[in-house]
Chain A
Amino acid sequence: MTARSWWDAVCGVSRDVLGLNRRNLEYVYPLNPRWAYVLADDKRRAKAELTAHGLPTAPTLACFDRFEQLARLDDTLRAHDEFVVKPAHGRAGRGVLVIVSRAGDGFVTAGGRRLSLDHLRRHIADIVFGVFSLDRADAALVEPRLVPSGFFAALAPAGLADIRIITVDGVPKAAMIRAPTVASDGRANIHQGAVGIAVDLATGALRGGWHRRSRVAEHPDTGHPLSGIGIPGWAGIVDIARRVSAVLPLRYLGLDIIVDAARGPLILEFNARPGLEIQNVLGVPLGRALGPVGPGRAGARA
């Protein structure tokens, strides 16, 4: 290795594996205007933006952003036995509470924990107070509990699997499924033990899994095969991804989509700084998957 190529290797220019430095300098900063981050960071605004463009998201059953609204919590939730409470600014699943049923005056969480109404009220107060959003006053969203479609329910019975699609300038460039496991405690977070499954962008076929830093052919909980099968309705899902990234001012996006049994594909959220673990899942350097970035779109500011 010559000194020059060694230096290039250190600087990461000879290979297309993306690190955080290069992701930020070559993709996030030039492609995503700072003012548009709020769209991605605030789930309320994100949903409003998507709904305005006729794109599918989970409905909002209730939204709390002032403490006095909590006095009517009981009335607000009366009609719902199953729901999810989440902070509008939460990250990495922080502050998310999944209620699966009622028990007497209280509730039961997805983890089987019983929760009094007061306890739930305090949790929502914490969200509004900013406990889960670095002390910024926040809003708590109540959404229906989503039920994965048959394909995803069979793939990951432990929780709600989602599809991550990376888009650049409206073009999907890479995709994976994040399937929860018992070990990940039902969360679709690969660092916490969920399985990442490579997805062929063109066909929606599964191309094997990545779990606990090694390649796997089957889901560790169920033995469900992670290759040789295809995601039903893949073309529609990719189409949604295309439409979402066409209407958002963010040129580099990580979209999280789930397929609900009743409602079909829904956009869960989108991320202006999508993570890099997808490289390990796909076994492909992201720089290569994303390809060269073109000049700015006209009228990027919506």
Chain B
Amino acid sequence: MTTVHRVMVWGMVALATVLSLVRLNAIGFNQDYILPKRVWQVDILQTVSDASGGAEVSALLPTTTSRQNILDAANLSPDFDHVAEPDGPNLVGRWRLQPRKDGGQIKYTVRVQPEAVRFDIDPDIRLSDDVPAGLQAFVAATDEIQVDAADVRELATSLRPDSGSVLRYAQSAFDHVQGFQFRPFKGTTSALTALRLGEASCNGRSRLLVALFRAQNIPARLVGGVILEEGSKRTSHQWMEAFIAGRWVPFDALNHHFAQIPAHYLELYRGDLAEFKHTSGITYRYEFKMRPELVPPSTIAEKRDALGVWSIFEQLGLSLDLLRILIMMPLGAMVIVIFRNVVGLKTFGTFLPTLIAAASTNTGFWSGVFGFVVIVLLTSLVRRAIAPLQLLHSPQLAILLTTTVSLMVVLTFVGAQFGLSGLTRITLFPIAVLAITAERFVLMEAEEGAVEALRTLAWTVVVVFFCYLAISSVALQLLLLSFPELLLVVVAVDIWLGRWLGLRVTEWARFRPVLAAAEIR
């Protein structure tokens, strides 16, 4: 590195640091105004058919609470008349099938930002026989929560600590229920059934835990919801809350959350209720579809900070999902530079691994790599099959491109058939790049042998993996999206690597004989 390079490298690092600090200072070092938020797009889907006699269905809908923020909600159900009305703490959505129709789909979609909550319970709070005013209903016995049953009373008494500490009691009750065997029961398990069997799914455990709290006059209630994870599912979840020191404190004795729940829990309703109801005699199914996305903080904070980059991107109409991949490409390119110039690995195409890694963020790594390898290998087979035709170069590439496109369609179809959602998005891969890679693969095979070609392909996959690690890291995405000036640091590293004089790792092996001889002298 010459002085010029040093000045440039450190100048860029210094500039990036100063810019970051200035912006951080302007917003009082409050990261909430810069960091994008993770929100979930949740579709509550219900399908009705064979309902010529009419149908009414209802679903309990998520509302904004102290720990979850509903950003927007929409009903997309053209065949149904819809109303949403409050019912106690809950919101009930009702749909009535329009006359002369015998079915249709109900889609209620919300964008929600849930947050993790965690409570500290003061160990000095004592159990008491006084129930806070207005909460009598939450210590009462019900058909499924048999607070007065002898078994429940007996267990509650045995778990009651001598100190009378609410925290200790909650802990013993929680541990007792958590120690149960898991049993994926369908339908409802009452508190007493769960207690007697010593095993239960989420709702049996939660009812028993509610019963145990109520037995000691601690108000408690069930909470119904969904655990958010990308994809589709029909499984809902139940946990419970106890009213301790003036707050409703959540407990999930199935997933080991004591006085806390994580951010990916979506609350749908409170109470011992069923999420869905429908008239009998119809064919009915439901499903939750969930997709996480990053949104600018302004959407949530309702604050547009002049120094934030978000409003600019929003005005340009750039989707954050696209932007976060775009902004990671320089980092992916830097990873490749390291592998080429420092490690000395040979890959197909200079920046091909970055492109494949970026495309793989839509499919997932394994689907992406599987698709990449399958398409390159099969296309190279076609390349070999048409070799005897002695075609000119461009028409030959056109045929390989056609092959690549066809393989993508086939893989998408296979993915759909076998429920591999990653493979269905393989069409987002750079088609021409794949076709040219297949061509290079065949040429390399002819000139340097199949072993060398396969080795290069394998190294390409290795580099794709590291590019993928860099590009798909949400932490790095957030960092670069919030502080785009850090790209200057990326450039500084590129300059530094651009003056890297050292032997590449592979060259240490290649020139070992000379290195050994040079050492001796």
Which of B501, B503, B514, B517 counts the most A-chain CB atoms under 10 A from its CB? B514
Which of B341, B448, B500, B513 counts the most A-chain CB atoms under 10 A from its CB? B513
B120: interface (CB < 8 Å): no
The digit string for B501-514, where 1 denotes a CB below 8 A from any CB of A, is: 11110010011011
- Chain A residues numbered 87-141 whose CB sits less than 8 Å from any CB in chain B: 92, 94, 119, 122, 125-126, 129-131, 135
- The answer to whether A21 touches B504, judged by C-beta atoms less than 8 angstroms apart, is yes
- The answer to whether B393 touches A135, judged by C-beta atoms less than 8 angstroms apart, is yes
Say how far B400's CB is from chain A's closest CB, in angstroms: 14
Report chain A residues within 8 Å CB of B502. Answer: 10-13, 19, 21-22
| Additional A-B contacts beyond A19-B344, A19-B507 (11; CB < 8 A) | A11-B500, A15-B515, A15-B519, A19-B511, A20-B507, A22-B501, A94-B447, A131-B392, A276-B511, A280-B513, A284-B517
- Chain A residues numbered 258-289 whose CB sits less than 8 Å from any CB in chain B: 276, 279-280, 283-285, 288
User: Given A280-B513, A284-B514, A284-B517, A17–B503 Cβ distance below 8 Å?
Assistant: yes
Q: How far is the CA of A20 from the CA of B340 in the complex (A)?
A: 11
- The answer to whether A126 touches B518, judged by C-beta atoms less than 8 angstroms apart, is no
- The answer to whether A130 touches B393, judged by C-beta atoms less than 8 angstroms apart, is yes
Say how far A125's CB is from chain B's closest CB, in angstroms: 7
- The answer to whether A17 touches B392, judged by C-beta atoms less than 8 angstroms apart, is no
Report chain B residues within 8 Å CB of A191. Answer: 448
Report chain B residues within 8 Å CB of A125. Answer: 392
Report chain A residues within 8 Å CB of B503. Answer: 12, 17, 19, 21-22
Say how far B144's CB is from chain A's closest CB, in angstroms: 69
Name the interface size band of chain A: 20 to 34
- Chain B residues numbered 418-473 whose CB sits less than 8 Å from any CB in chain A: 447-448
Q: Is the interface of B mostly helix, strand, loop or mixed?
A: helix
Report chain B residues within 8 Å CB of A3. Answer: none
Q: How far is the CA of A25 from the CA of B5 in the complex (A)?
A: 13
B390: interface (CB < 8 Å): yes
User: Given A131-B393, A280-B511, A280-B513, A285–B501 Cβ distance below 8 Å?
Assistant: no
Report chain B residues within 8 Å CB of A126. Answer: 392-393
Name A's B-contacting residues (CB within 8 A).
10-13, 15-17, 19-22, 25-26, 92, 94, 119, 122, 125-126, 129-131, 135, 191-192, 213, 276, 279-280, 283-285, 288
**What are the 5 A-B residue pairs with the smallest beta carbon separation, nearest first?**
A19-B503, A12-B502, A11-B502, A12-B503, A22-B501
B499: interface (CB < 8 Å): yes
Report chain A residues within 8 Å CB of B344. Answer: 19-20
Report chain B residues within 8 Å CB of A20. Answer: 344, 504, 507
- The answer to whether A285 touches B514, judged by C-beta atoms less than 8 angstroms apart, is yes
Which of A10, A12, A131, A213 counts the most B-chain CB atoms under 10 A from its CB? A12
Report chain A residues within 8 Å CB of B517. Answer: 283-284
- The answer to whether A13 touches B447, judged by C-beta atoms less than 8 angstroms apart, is no
Report chain B residues within 8 Å CB of A25. Answer: 499, 501
User: Given A122-B390, A130-B393, A17–B511 Cβ distance below 8 Å?
Assistant: yes
Closest to B504 in A: A19
Say how far A66's CB is from chain B's closest CB, in angstroms: 15
Report chain B residues within 8 Å CB of A16. Answer: 518
Report chain B residues within 8 Å CB of A285. Answer: 514-515, 518
Contact of B501 among A26, A213, A276 (CB under 8 A): A26
- The answer to whether B501 touches A17, judged by C-beta atoms less than 8 angstroms apart, is no
Report chain B residues within 8 Å CB of A129. Answer: 392-393
Report chain B residues within 8 Å CB of A130. Answer: 393
The digit string for B323-365, where 1 denotes a CB below 8 A from any CB of A, is: 0000000000000000001001000000000000000000000
Q: How far is the CA of A135 from the CA of B440 in the complex (A)?
A: 12
Report chain A residues within 8 Å CB of B519. Answer: 15
